A and B are shown apart, each in its own frame.
Chain A
């Protein structure tokens, strides 16, 4: 069974692997941070918001204060998550599922199949 945990991430409750929702590429164990299975890039905010005038305050963000960190699916290049962080700030382990709900679910599935047989 597959559960959509976010807009872009699926948890396979049998293999207990993260998968990209777009291409089903696996991103590592659900017990781990899915970001460890991503390709990661930091970008200057000026690549996302065009500077409209000269100077530091130019309607884009100052890269000495903040960067855009992007997490890509290594299979298809989908953008799975974005963080705006000060340069060097630790990345956020944002989702840590309680896996007992999957093991309970699998046991329930197995016992329901056993009953059917």
Chain B
């Protein structure tokens, strides 16, 4: 469905500012990810750069970007912003991303599309125009954004009356005025349930935010109005600091220099990416990944990728992916590309500019009607959790593509890819309305293992690698709960020759207030999305645990010594009185009462290689450090040691591992025999409710959204 066929790229627009027209629809916005054609003037500005200019001023731009990011973080208040789930970016005058300082690479895709939309639609529109001092704002996926918690401020940069660049600052806002608190409503069934969605609009002129429009936004976000106002200003502050620095550069070096430099960054990024891709083996690489929820209920959702690499380009075909559904776990193609970018910019292209030029070698083929290319009226506020299936399948397919090349050091098993978070809202102990989420589990998932090392424990947030877990005490200060424990989670990393990094686990209990609304997001309860690579195992299972009506405060007042210290002891020892509920890690909004215990788990990363190839001394170290259990050491890694001293028995270990290989040979069946038995199986019918036909995944019924 086309949302807008209007194109206003008239002859009065200089060539370097033009955006090639596309059909504006949710299915086609991804086409603007390709860099714009380079005209004669722009080519000459690139060629006018003197030797050394590019190298020196590329570095200067990075410093400017980092400065603006720091200003942005220090100006904001919500924890995903302060944790680093953000980007500040600089674009050419026609919206190509030249470079960015990125906490998350998602917005290397979803940032440039709204800029192109404004240039395409509004530059020549006399009722809007683009002028010096303008401040634009958006959070709408239909026009190139991602889910609506991700809000973006962007500003044109003028010098001597000419448009020379755009700047932007974008970060996640944990409240959108949707039908549930937290910005990612699990119960949303259509876009009408998802709260504020701003098309790209001008919220400021003459470098000042318009009070009436700010009030409009705050009015939408009345569960946390203070946060909305402060963070809107923070975004504008970040974009404006960048704007000032770019103008200073133009004063010093001239407009042509700035425009040439920005375009050269885009061109160099593409050329470098193509050179790198050309050295990987040509072929077709397939991967499949599963999520186990559509939010309101557990369900299998399949992501299927066929990546075909020829010379210096890669065709990404997601045919076979599950059909769209009437939950908020749907996405659009540019959102898929954004999730592929998370791997691409962090691993194979980590040293290239965070530019859409780097992504130019990729073609995207995402079937309409699939969960990754849903109808324009679909709810998509949980598209990032859904797109874990993209992150895993892209990591697997490209790691297999790249192994036999000099880029082997740039691959790895998938990270935890769970997006584990508790979302909470209400009125705080300071009598302030709040709606936020717990960045502690979110930012401490395990990294996937690498070809020559274990994954990093609690490495970060797979959607925003540079994200930092906030101090646990920050939350207790700001919000009405106590954090009972928060630490690494044993056995959570995927087992293998190299082990996936551990995730974490935490438990919080509402206090100071009688009640707190909460829900949670996560997955890998029934099937892991953090797959292993080359014989490594996936990460471990992650249930959600809730204990209501506890005697926690009484026990703490008495100084009882048997308070639970981890998730397993909560569920196994049951030292707390109360009602215990174990369920999927994605949990609907409910009321938590003072003293209830909410346990949330973060996934480990996938393992790499055969477990029997892991150095037994490393296994023993893991055991000593509490990273794995004795059961895992013996039953999975097959090592033998003295129980008291934990000294390795090398001979017994070698014999045990030889025996384990013999057991595999007895257990394994030839292809035909295995397929004959295997193909008769099917999953629990509960798992297939939204899968489509089994096993093809073809939609069986049309999706109806009201």
Contact = CB atoms under 8 A, between A and B. Distances in A.
Contacts of A3: 404
B541 A77 contact: no
Nearest to B688: A86
A68 B611 CA distance: 14
A7 B669 contact: no
A82 B536 contact: yes
A74 to B, nearest CB: 7
Nearest to B310: A98
B514 interface: no
B491 A49 contact: yes
B632 A77 contact: no
Given A7-B403, A68-B537, A59 B285 contact: no
Contacts of B535: 7-8, 78-82
Interface in A38-95: 38-42, 45, 47-50, 52-53, 55, 57-62, 64-66, 68-70, 72, 74, 76-95
Contacts of B660: 77
Nearest to B282: A98
B534 A88 contact: no
B541 A49 contact: yes
A95 B400 contact: yes
Interface in B274-321: 281-288, 290, 292, 300, 310
A7 B684 CA distance: 34
B665 A89 contact: no
Nearest to B569: A52
B632 A79 contact: no
A78 B286 contact: no
Contacts of B667: 39, 41
Contact of A53 (B310, B534, B572, B682): B572
B580 to A, nearest CB: 10
B287 A97 contact: no
Interface string B650-677: 0000000000111111011111001100
Interface string B458-491: 0000000000000000000000000000000001
B413 to A, nearest CB: 10
Given A6-B403, A88-B679, A40 B669 contact: yes
A40 B695 contact: no
A116 interface: no
Given A8-B609, A61-B541, A84 B528 contact: yes
Interface residues on B, range: 35 or more
Interface string B383-416: 0000000000000110010011000000000000
A96 interface: yes
B680 interface: yes
- Top 6 closest pairs, chain A to chain B, by CB: A39-B668, A77-B661, A88-B681, A98-B282, A7-B534, A87-B681
Interface of A: 3-8, 35-42, 45, 47-50, 52-53, 55, 57-62, 64-66, 68-70, 72, 74, 76-98, 100-101
12 contacts: A8-B609, A35-B671, A39-B668, A50-B632, A59-B568, A59-B571, A62-B526, A65-B683, A68-B537, A72-B664, A82-B532, A85-B290
Interface of B: 281-288, 290, 292, 300, 310, 396-397, 400, 403-404, 451, 491, 495, 497, 525-528, 531-538, 540-541, 543, 567-568, 571-572, 582-583, 608-613, 629, 631-632, 635-636, 660-665, 667-671, 674-675, 678-684, 687, 694-695
Given A48-B636, A91-B675, 17 more contacts: A6-B400, A7-B403, A41-B664, A41-B674, A42-B678, A60-B540, A78-B613, A81-B534, A82-B535, A83-B531, A84-B532, A85-B290, A88-B683, A89-B288, A90-B695, A96-B285, A98-B281
